[in-house]
Structure 1
Amino acid sequence: MLRLAGSFPRLPPPVRPISPAPAPSQLSLRRVLLLLSSAGFSPPSCYSSPSFAAMAAAAPPVAKKVPRQLVEHGDVRVDNYYWLRDDSRSDPDVLAHLRAENDYTAAVMSDVKQLEDEIYAEIRGRIKEDDIDAPLRKGRYYYYERTLTGKEYVQHCRRPVSTDAPITVHDVMPTGPDAPDEHIILDENVKAEGHDYYSIGAFKVSPNNKLVAYAEDTKGDEIYTVYVIDTESGEYVGQPLKGITSDIEWAGDDHLVYITMDSILRPDKVWLHKLGSDQSSDACLYHEKDDTFSLGLQASESKRYLFVESGSKNTSFIFYLDIPKQNKELAVLTPRVYGIDTTASHRGNHFFIKRRSDEFYNSELVACPLDNVAETTILLPHRESVKIQDFQLFDNHIAVYERENGLPKVIVYRLPAIGESIGQLQGGRAIDFIDPTYAVDPEESQFHSSVLRFHYSSMRTPPSVYDYDMDSGVSVLKKIHTILGGFNASNYVTERKWAAAADGTQVPMSILYRNDLVKLDGSDPMLLYGYGSYEVRSVCLFSFLLFGKL
């Protein structure tokens, strides 16, 4: 089941306001500083501590204590600061305390204001603001996002495709005076006007390309309102759907499936909505009553099925909706079994399922007939040294995203013709990558094609989008993020080394250095970072923030 990564970086997303929103210029600065801190940036020692005068002049605010008893399982505890919880973001006492905290921070950090401005100017100078991402062909249109100089948000655009030829890796969206006109479907900059916070959590084009459903959050609480618009006129279709998550999917051209949350914001109900009807008449397809489980929603690449996943820490099970049948009932694909985690997709007359358990901790990939989901055939068995991360289905191929020795791999297999029996996958072709250490993630591709699109990055290679021909093995670069300010990737080297831990475990290290400055004799300073708990690894992504340090 395809889990999409972000396509290609643009300006950092807005920070959710925890107090009355700052002016736009302050917001942009805060966004950049947040990005810096997330990348591990630390200022020089001369800037690391504010002056004693600044600290003395600003007394830290002290939150009042309002005892509140909380009783759970017969146990009573007192929370003196429960009053600071304000889901409405409107309590005067809470807002006053947050303003005092912000004022104190501004006073204590006043000595580094010049450094903040310098860092902000440096980072802003590296970002190409007027740009588009890699256009994706869907049916008769190319879809893409555009960023504009000085604007905080993107435009969602499309252009008509002037050919009926199949999709190839060599396709290029026409531009220029003779090209089909660009049409702006949605301009987030316009929609954001008048809002202190604005974010679109989903932008879904209907199968017939005539409508778009988008999920909008104007408060920062991740409680979305969904609007449906006509792609040509921009006019609203039907009434908005309120109080939902960003998980929405089309079920045909005139139905939407969406998820709502309970009082603790746990996604717990999935609904079927017919365009033009009132939300109050929507059919509830499933209610997850176990508060340790939350719901998710995903469409198969074939667009025939929608999968509803209910998952907890190490357990998940799946229902499915057969879209062409237009029924209002979900069917069980994988049962609820503690310790077994599953994801699924569909092709032809089979469901494909990735299954993980304590026994198969690196996952196995199986297939089952649509009419007998209990009869599974192993496509890729569990392997002790290879972890199956994800998979992506096409008419004639399957792309499997794996990890071996800590390094991601993509293996492409040709599948038997639809209708033929299917067995263990053989003869897969691994995609070659240009760096010794890197990150690769799936991008949205088209099911009825032989073109796999993926997102690639390394510590020296800016975020890139490639199209890969699964028949010929040819990769074509479709987009690479432009880094301004004199960046030249050839000035930098990435290497992969192994280090022995105290218990003898071999730990991979990804190294980045500037080839004309580093002596590699042990005298160079080094920034070392590592993490590995909870099966979370350090991913070798490109970060232009690092290059100022090198």
Structure 2
Amino acid sequence: MATSTEVLSPPVARREEDRSVFAGVAPEGWDPKMPRQSNDSTETLLDPPVAVPDPYGWLRDDKRNNKEVLDHLKAENAYSQSMTKHLGQLQESLYSEFLSSIKETDFTTPRPKGEFWYYTRTFKGFSYKTYCRAPKASESFDIDWDGTKESPILPGEETYLDVNKLAEGKDYCSVGGVKVSPSKKLIAYAADFSGDEIYQLRVKNLETGEDVALKETGSDKLLEIDSVMWGKDDDELFFTTNDEQHRPCRMYQRKNWQSDEPTDRLLAEELDDLFWCSMYKSIDEKFVFFEASSKEVSEIFFLPLDDEHTASEMKLVAARRPKVLYEVDAGHGSWFLLTNVDKSPNMKLMTAPIQADSAAEWKLVEDADGNPIFDGSLAKALDSVTILKTHLVLQGREGGIPRVWTFCLTSKELKRIDFPEDAYDVGLLAHSEMDTETVAVSYDSMLTPPSSIEISLTDDSQRTVLKTKEVPGYNKELYESHRMEFPSRDGETMIPISVVARKETMEKARAGTHVPVHLYGYGSYGASIEADFDTTRLPLLDRGMIYVIAHVRGGGEMGRAWYEEPKGAKYLCKKNTFNDFVDVARILSKTWTKPEMLSCEGRSAGGLLIGAAINQDPALFRCAILGVPFVDVVPTMTDSTIPLTSGEWVEWGNPNEERFHNYMMEYSPINNVKIGRYPACWLTGGLHDPRVAYWEPAKFTAALRHANPDNDNPICMKLDLSAGHFSASDRYKYYRELAYDYSFLLDQLNLADC
């Protein structure tokens, strides 16, 4: 491995050996918000409280302005820069390779809504997207684009929001929830200029170009929101706001927002810290919904969008019940519901009349033979339903693969839309109109770049490719991909993995020659990591690496049972996530590769996975990348003053309760660092991250170094001082940051010169 001639010494964070956080009933002198159990918990709080060592707790600075802390973080960045200074040429090469495999001037597939086609564009040299639309002359479009910035995608194209202009003079700019008003003359959107996910509500007049940030009523303070949508006309806005813990919890209606005295009405508020709230509108635009949900319970209110609704109150679709989740949409005079009621392992599809308190009326949706089309069994998982004029379009999973089904409302026939590859990713594109004879999906795999495909609802063999993502220089024939299963240590569970590599690399591995392997994982919240296409993998594959995704328990790849207790990876079986990952790594290290050539990576809760894995078997990996890693599990989860903590208790458990505390202490990465030779580690963070605070990677970095002062593998942390959880908002800066990550990885695997 190449080394720099001018490497700084790693920063040494001072330790306060008598510093602790307390789990359980708060002792005198320790006064965070009093912890509490979840509503249906039968556990008692730890009393007396238990002290959890937190020697690096001084690195936590909620205001992000403590000079000692900032100086330490800058020293960490300087050290990481010195450790990678000799990799400047490699970083430039990686950055160039990233850019060479994308079409910098490009557009997304136009989607219809009303009298317009809507899409976004990107331009070479510009960091952010522009939002565009063009008049819809017919139900199909014919693109005649010469590939330049100046040429419109469709006749009559107009740009209605240029994020590049909005971002001028700012280090960070993230735009979300761009909504066009009923008259199509205005847009409302949310903008974050710091990365802390505190968004301001803005409205732009598309006729005059005026773009204003709205204020709180009766105040000069800017209105900070979580989400926004229009009501029945241009005078009405709905928005949600957060509490002090950054939890979306309130829904407001603002009437006459353009006047000097707009009126706000609080429609709904959720006071329980375990519940995260959102709002949405039915596809037929007849109802707005307010959903309050935890990981285990949900409750939804509705409000009709008619001439009388301004005087009415929101009503319940169905009251919350322990362990019952449901989602609802409206169409054809009925509620359509996804729910796990009656303890089904997956979500079932039900329907009911449109009325308040409808739980007693829920009935399974059946086919022509009277069989439930989704009964909530283990056979197939249901994730969403889209209601169209003649069909329901359903998304879910079967055999570990994402699927799309159509259900004809007249013939009662359910059909699955199939694709030729063994493993792939597929999902619906935006559908804003019910009256359609086709459905549009996005399809890709680890080998196949994304395509937008329009499929007939009555004959799915009739397919039209609307757009295929162009990947300059990519030759699919040079690569191969596989779906495989490896056994877990419990002897019962098979862990799916997705594999992609160049063909000559796989030939070497199959012939018994060890090759470098990069293993990626996540495994939390029931979220699935799909076998999708990613151009940023190509520089690794082209340097002779095999890229493997381990679909470990805790995700949703095999349905909700892959996530829930007793055999998934949540609460008191969470260690299944880490064990599955280590089991996959051990098999790989004895077949295609060896520990000296094996690397691993995970982000956020995936960073927790990596932290726990390298603690479990430090010698198994040569290099580990931990992106914005959740590694300070017990100290963080005991303190509900930290944003978003309380709601996470129904994911991990509440460590203020004895049983959960003892279990979490067994895997919390920062509390289980061993003495021994750890792999080279590259940790990243964002100073303004509200989801995984910057001090988590900072504390873990210090703990790894302290426990292993003689470890000759570097432990580096790179902290972005102007970003949050989702890294750089500037796409070019994002590729620059990724080039740093991968240059470190390749250097540690002795591939820097390849």
In structure 2, C-alpha distance between the alignment counterparts of 1:80 and 1:214, rounded to whole Å: 43
In the alignment, which residue of structure 2 is the partner of 1:268? Answer: 249
Q: Counterpart of 2:114?
A: 139
Whichever residue aligns with residue 479 of structure 1, its letter is K
Letter in 1 for 2:11: P
From the two aligned structures, give the one with the greater strand fraction: 1
Identity %: 28
Note if contact 1:202-1:246 (Cα within 8 Å) is conserved in structure 2: no
Which segments of 5 or more consecutive residues in structure 1 lack a partner in the other structure? 1-45, 417-424
Q: Is the 8 A contact 2:254 2:264 kept in 1?
A: yes
Instruction: Tell me the amino acid that sits aligned with residue 542 of structure 1.
Output: F
Partner residue in 2 for 1:366 = 350
| Contact 2:200–2:214 (CA under 8 A) maintained in structure 1 | no
Q: What residue identity is the alignment partner of 1:460?
A: L
Q: 1:178 to 1:262 in 2, by over 3 A?
A: closer
1:20-59 to 2 correspondences below 5 Å: 46-47=1-2, 50-51=3-4, 54-55=6-7, 57-59=8-10
Q: What corresponds to 1:545 in structure 2?
A: 536
| Residue matched to 2:625 | none
Secondary structure, aligned partner of 2:88: helix
* C-alpha deviation, 1:528, in angstroms: 6.2
Q: 2:479 aligns with which of 470, 482, 492?
A: 492
Change (3 A) 1:291 1:526: same
SS class of match (1:111): helix
Aligned to 1:529, the other structure's residue is in SS state strand
Deviation string, structure 1 residues 156-184 (Cα, Å, up to 9, x no partner): 11111224xxx3xx533566799632211
1:435 CA displacement:
1.6
After TM superposition, the structure 1 = structure 2 runs for residues 336-375 of structure 1, keeping only pairs within 5 Å, are: 336-357=320-341, 359-371=343-355, 373-374=358-359, 375=361
1:480 aligned partner, one-letter code: T
Q: Distance in 1 between matches of 2:244 and 2:251?
A: 15
The Cα of 1:517 is off from its aligned counterpart by 5.9
Q: How big is the shift at 1:370?
A: 0.9
136 and 116 in structure 1: CA distance in 2 versus 1, 3 angstrom threshold: same
Change (3 A) 1:341 1:360: same
Aligned with residue 456 of structure 1, among 434, 443, 448: 443
> Would the aligned equivalents of 2:102 and 2:535 in 1 still touch at CA under 8 Å?
no
Q: Are residues 1:251 and 2:239 paired?
A: no
In structure 2, the residue corresponding to 1:354 is in which secondary structure? Answer: strand
Aligned pair 1:326/2:309, yes or no? yes
**1:89 positional shift:** 3.9
Out of 227-236 and 524-533, give the one that drifted further.
524-533
In 1, are the aligned partners of 2:10 and 2:76 still within 8 Å (CA)?
A: no
Structure 2 CA distance, aligned partners of 1:399 and 1:218?
Answer: 37
Separation in 2, partners of 1:183, 1:355: 42
The correspondence of residues 60-209 of structure 1 with structure 2, limited to 5 A, is 60-62=11-13, 70-71=30-31, 72=34, 75=49, 84-163=59-138, 167=139, 170-173=140-143, 180-209=155-184
Deviations 1:454-499 (CA, angstroms, capped at 9, x unpaired): 2221000112222222133222222222112x21223333333444
- Structure 2 CA distance for partners of 1:140 and 1:334, relative to 1, 3 Å: same
Match of 2:420 in 1: 434
- In the alignment, structure 2 segments of 5+ residues that lack a partner are 21-28, 36-47, 146-150, 217-221, 366-373, 543-754
Change beyond 3 A, Cα 1:173–1:212 = farther
- Count residues with an aligned counterpart: 487
Q: 1:309 aligns with which of 291, 300, 304?
A: 291
Q: Is the 8 A contact 1:156 1:185 kept in 2?
A: yes
Change in 2 beyond 3 A, CA 1:134/1:119: same
The 5-angstrom pairing of residues 368-447 of structure 1 reads: 368-371=352-355, 373-374=358-359, 375-379=361-365, 380-416=374-410, 426-445=412-431, 446-447=433-434
Cα 1:94–1:304 shift into 2, 3 Å: farther
Aligned partners of 1:188, 1:245: CA distance in 2, in Å? 19
1:529 and 2:528 aligned: no
Partner of 1:22: none
Of Structure 1 and Structure 2, the greater helix share is in 2
Q: What's the offset of the Cα at 1:255?
A: 1.4
The normalised TM-score by structure 1 is 0.81
* Structure-1 separation of matches of 2:205 and 2:443: 33
**Separation in structure 1 between the aligned mates of residue 71 and residue 192 of structure 2, nearest angstrom:** 24
| Correspondent of 1:335 among 319, 325, 333 | 319
Give the equivalent residue in structure 1 for 2:206: 231
* CA–CA distance in structure 2, aligned partners of residues 528 and 117 of structure 1: 21
CA 1:88/1:181 → structure 2, altered by over 3 Å: closer, same or farther?
A: farther
Partner residue of 1:289 out of 259, 266, 271: 271
| Contact 2:239/2:253, CA 8 A, preserved across alignment | yes
